Amino acid sequence: MSETIDSVYPDFLRTGLGKLSELDSRRELLTLFSALEHFRHDLHQQETGVGILGVTHRYVTGLNLFRSMGFWLVNPEDMSFVLTLASPDGECAALQRTVDDSVKAGRFGNALRRGGHVMFGMNEKDGVETGLLHALTLSSQAVGMFCGMLHREAAPTQEVAFSLLSLLLGECSDALATLRKTKQLTNQVETLTGLLPLCAWCKKVRNDSGYWEQIDKYITSHSNTALTHGVCPDCKTNFLSGMTGKI
């Protein structure tokens, strides 16, 4: 069940990373581990992809790396990327253009192969603006994409923040894939436990599109069940008696 996220840990990421450069940083490291555990908990309280991305956005904001960022989810029907969450609102169009250019240039494919982030530069009137592209993947299967435009001044703990970013996005990917799989299984169970329009003569099933198809094909396409074929005793007897009559 979705809950309102009121954890203090996203804000800690902003202040705690700066303390890692101090001599005694054991306390900060322990709190960072606690922050990651709370992040996992917050993720799995969500029931929608938007909710998962909302939690991830808040924690990533705590890294204080990006002036703007966006999350794209893969549309399973046509495998296109759909901008699902971005901030600030006025940067949505610019982020979309950046991602479109990055996909065409092969940067997303590179990020997917590397399993991490890919940096890129954008020519601006007053200099070069640096961005970061990160695939949201689970077992090399893309479930989405993250793009962020970095602040012009690099943070002292930027490399540590990049490592934490990969951890956060990895957990986000796992939560998204788990949610998608759960919905697929739920739909399959609902389909197979509901009423099936079955032809009384040929035993074909009417599918969701209104077309009639063989029942074995329908079952395999709507579940993880693998069908095998055999001959029941009645059919075997009838078949053999028919063969005997012909001999």
Q: Which CATH class is domain 9-188?
A: alpha beta
pLDDT for 178 equals: 86
Please tell me the distance from the alpha carbon of residue 48 to that of residue 79, in angstroms, as a whole number.
19
Cβ contact 162:113 at 8 Å: no
Q: Which residues lie closer than 8 Å to 12 by C-beta, 6 or more apart?
A: 31, 32, 35, 62
Tokens of 106: 């092969």
At 40, give phi and psi (nearest 5°).
-60, -45
Strands (E), 57-204: 66-74, 81-87, 117-124, 127-138, 141-150
pLDDT tens-place values along the chain, 247 residues long: 444 444 445 655 655 555 444 544 555 566 677 778 888 888 888 989 999 999 999 999 988 899 999 999 988 788 888 999 999 989 999 999 988 988 888 888 888 787 778 888 865 555 568 899 998 987 767 888 999 999 888 766 778 788 889 889 999 999 998 888 877 766 666 556 666 787 878 878 887 777 888 877 777 776 667 777 777 887 877 777 665 555 4
At 65, give phi and psi (nearest 5°).
-100, -35
In the chain, list all ranges with CATH 3.30.450.40.
9-188
